[in-house]
Amino acid sequence: MHRILSRQQLSENVYRLRVEAPLIAKARKPGQFVIVQVDTDFGERIPLTIADANPAEGSITLIFQAVGATTMNLARLQEGENIAAILGPLGKATHIEKFGRVVCVGGGIGVAPLFPIAQALKNAGNHLTVIIGARTKELVILEDEMRTIADDLVLVTDDGSYGRKALVTEPLKELCESVDRKPDLAVAIGPPIMMKFAAATTLPYNVRTMVSLNTIMVDGTGMCGGCRVTVGGETKFVCVDGPEFDGHKVDFNNMMKRLQSYKPQEDEARHTCLIDAQADRLADAQVNV
Amino acid sequence: MNHVHVTPDELKSQARATLSALEAAAQNGDALKARDRIALPQQDMPAQDPMVRSCNMFEVTYGYFEEQARVEADRCLQCKNAPCIAGCPVAIDIPGFIAKIAEGDYAGSLAIIRESSLLPSICGRVCPQEVQCQKHCTVGKSLKDQSKSVSIGRLERFVADWDAGMKGLSDLAPEDENGNALPPSAVSGLVAAAGGKIPPVKPETGKKVAVIGSGPASITVAADVRREGHAVTIFEAFHKPGGVMIYGIPEFRLPKKIVADEIHTLERMGVEIRTNFLVGRTRTLGQIMTEDGYDAAFIGAGAGLPRFLNIEGENLVGVFSANEFLTRSNLMKAYDRKRAATPLSQPKKVAVFGGGNVAMDAARTAVRIGAEEVSVVYRRTRTEMPARVEEVDHAEEEGVLFHFLRSPVRIIGDENDRVVAIETLDYELGEPDDSGRRRPVPIPGSERTMKVDTVIVSIGNDSNPLLVSTTPELEVNRRGNIVADEHGRTSMDRVFAGGDIVLGAATVILAMGEGRKAAAEINRMLSGE
């Protein structure tokens, strides 16, 4: 059981939980993730990235978007309540060294797993440019945190409600084209389609680009193979070989289709969850009256 | 093959009639001669009607009725040389325990089994007896049909179930909502509630032993080491202990409460179980041994890395490893669509690649979740299938189709990367290979396609490299299995290993046997300090 020490809503569907997990807090490195289960009887196991950790306090920070049944249930847990099971840290840690100029590209919720990686890269002495992209202003997260570590920060929104009206690929391309600011490494984390186009943007400029994949998983230890992706023509398991891969080699199209494997079932489960959440709100409202 | 379903009631009354005749003969002072014993009818395993069980997850078999167990025990010739014992990986005194059943002393019978085996209710159900003890049985040899050997496994299960409180429970006659008869294990809460005695634990020694994984090898080590008074902690990566017996073997073949009962016994003995703990990630084995103060460790982490065929289309949507398909269904209970949050695909036409027990489990699970047509594609013949004969028979009774001497070449997808068909090649059997089985040879030009929407790849597991990759001190062979000597000792000081992570994918009984040896060595090492 893992007690929730604090709970914050960052945007409409995005939540930040600080959770007791002393062993994971001590062992985790940037780039790693956990498998979370809200109830261990009939609950689903879902992978979530570790956004931050405090080994002294024995806590880890999870940032997630309530988009499916399990994340919606997770979002309904309050401070002081418990998460039934957290397994981790899983996956390989990001390879951190001094590359020179590094650009970290985060889209939407992807900014959360990007933050510890950007922080570690900065601490290793790299020049750090951060590009944060979101659909609209309300969905921008961790801007302040990123500002504390970035040498440069570019903000873009799809609708132009905040920062530049652009996709992340625009400022990324400009960087790649520039003579004196061309990155030695790009790290792109966000929706699969964003990572796909970020990798396609850097490819002609030969800028090495790491992406962090979040696929369907059950165990997270290499046992089920549900997370497999094609990387450079070979099958890799995201949970043990990743989650980070060379973005220029990932078959994003196949990965995106595999992510839709359970769409009908997920839609149905989400519908049930929305009804439950409405019932909750209704109950709260009645208590307040 | 044509299967005729004989109802459990009929089997019971047949056995009762045979037993009455035997008792009458005994009262006349006619001792059974070997010839008479061989002539006794082999007792069939009572089972749920295939039409009923293919729509439920309850255990397929009932276990013997007492009358059947007595008749079957009378078939045993009590051979002086006991060839069956030589076929048992843990050398159970088989004639000994069978003689006790014939006498009606079931507690005595179980005590004999327990001298060598810790998990009779499990092994009685899942051991491949036909290639072990029953392969050597004199009765089978006399009848020139090894399938007619004394049903040693069923007798083992009978006494274990009897002890767990299922004796006579067939008479409770549990039923499903449509009034169909169900096996005694379907009575809820039965086994776990039975409790029973726990093995005596010696006074605390102050020594600590870490057991990694919680499958059959680990359960055995935990029990044997704990009995000597050492503190034992089991580290399990999943949220439920039991290993392959929980995530892999389905409920219909091994009811989960039987496994839960074994785990519960460990807890009552004082074994600590830490779930959601992945050794190699949460803590390394090195940290456990040096910083956390364990005096010894046993690695029984299993062979959890699914093999794929590396053919075109294997990453299409609708292709699963058997591990994934079974874990979703068993561990995550996804077959219970109303309550489980974990989704499971809803297959219509399924191809299962492979011929082992796991392939049978996957195929039969697919049948139970409503697939219309399930085909097993296997590149050798029925004779070479590694699956237990009973599982193959059961699968066939439940409507699973078998395509022997056929092997997949590629998996074909549509524009959405969803599986629509497989292409296969026909094979013939050539010269024997290393395993002694005749090597399948492809027949050129025999390509054919078969329409399916789901493919389950079940061609075995390799050793999961996660623990080894974070423990440089551990020596592994070229297959990635941990190298251990006959006492389970690895290249790392005070660290032992056993089960599938040493053997490659094997069986519950072999894992248990290895666990026994390693536990004895751990106990010997710790007692000398």
Closest residue, chain A, to B319 (C-alpha): A226
Region B354-372: what's the mean pLDDT? Answer: 96
Average pLDDT on A201-223 reads: 95
Using the Cβ of A69 and the Cβ atoms of chain B, whether some distance falls under 8 Å is answered with yes
Q: Say if residues A239 and A227 touch (Cβ distance below 8 Å).
A: yes
Closest to A260 (Cβ–Cβ): which among B317, B327, B341?
B317
Measure A283 CA to nearest chain B CA, in Å: 23
Q: How far apart are CA A121 and CA B180, in angstroms?
A: 64
In the chain, the amino acid numbered A148 is: T
**Minimum-distance CB partner of A240 among B239, B344, B466:** B466
CB distance A224–B305 less than 8 Å?
A: no
Is pLDDT above 70 for B194?
Answer: no
| Residue A90 C-alpha, separation from nearest chain B C-alpha, in angstroms | 6
The pLDDT of B469-489, averaged and rounded, is 93
Spell out the long-range contacts of A93-99 with Cβ–Cβ below 8 A and sequence spacing 24 or more. A93/A29, A93/A30, A93/A31, A93/A32, A94/A29, A94/A30, A94/A31, A94/A120, A94/A187, A94/A210, A94/A244, A95/A244, A96/A30, A96/A120, A96/A121, A96/A124, A97/A124, A98/A124, A98/A125, A98/A126, A99/A126, A99/A184, A99/A185
The answer to whether the beta carbons of residues B324 and B343 sit under 8 Å apart is no
A24 touches chain B (CB under 8 A): yes
Residue with tokens 């997949």: B408
Structure confidence by residue, pLDDT tens digits, A75-119: 999 999 999 999 999 999 999 999 999 999 999 999 999 999 999
Chain B nearest C-alpha distance from A85 (Å): 7
Q: What is the pLDDT of residues B279-302, one digit of tens each?
A: 999 999 999 999 999 999 999 998
Across A115-143, average pLDDT: 96
ipTM of this model? Answer: 0.90
Neighbouring residues of B81: CB distance < 8 A, sequence distance ≥ 6 = none
| pLDDT > 60? residue B170 | no
**Strand ranges (E), B318-459:** 319-321, 349-353, 373-377, 401-403, 406-413, 419-432, 438-442, 448-451, 454-457
Cβ of A223 within 8 Å of Cβ of B328? The answer is no
At A128, list the tokens.
């750090």
| Mean pLDDT of all residues in B52-66 | 93
How many angstroms separate the CA atoms of B411 and B314, rounded?
Answer: 6
Q: Which helix (H) or strand (E) holds A156?
A: strand A152-157
Query: Is the pLDDT score of A269 beyond 90?
Result: no
Q: What digits encode the pLDDT tens for the residues B310-360?
A: 999 999 999 999 999 999 999 998 888 888 888 888 899 999 999 999 999
In contact, B304 and B310? CB cutoff 8 Å = no
Residue B30 in this model has a pLDDT that exceeds 50:
yes
Cβ-based contacts of A74 with chain B (< 8 Å): none
pLDDT(B1) > 70 = no
φ/ψ (deg, to 5) at B310: 55, 45
Contact B479, B374 (CB under 8 A): no
**Position B2 confidence tier, pLDDT thresholds 50, 70, 90:** low
Q: What is the pLDDT of residues A13-41, one digit of tens each?
A: 899 999 999 999 999 999 999 999 998 88
Across A192-201, A219-228, B196-205, least confident range: B196-205
pLDDT above 90 covers what percent of chain A? 85
pLDDT of B188 strictly over 70: no
DSSP string, B479-493: TSPBP--TT-B-SST
Tell me what pLDDT residue B176 has: 80
From chain B, pick out residues whose CB is under 8 angstroms from the CB of A225: 306, 308, 320-321, 323-324
- Give the minimum alpha-carbon distance from A38 to chain B in angstroms, rounded to a whole number: 10
Contact B432, B378 (CB under 8 A): no
Q: If you ran DSSP here, which 8-state letter would residue B55 be given?
A: T
- Looking at per-residue confidence, does B517 or B340 come out higher? B517
For residue A181, the SS3 value is coil
Buried b (16+ CB within 10 A) or exposed e, B305-324: bbbebeeebbbbbbbbbbbb
Using DSSP, state whether B99 is helix, strand or coil: helix
pLDDT (0 to 100) of residue B420: 98
pTM beyond 0.90, yes or no: yes
Taking 3-state DSSP, the helix, strand and coil percentages for chain A, each rounded to the nearest 5, stand at 35, 30, 35
A41: closest chain B residue by CA = B332
| Model confidence band, residue B166 (pLDDT cutoffs 50, 70, 90) | low
Is 60 exceeded by the pLDDT of residue B171? no
Q: Please choose, from the candidates A210, A167, A204, the residue with its C-alpha nearest in 3D space to the C-alpha of residue A185.
A: A210
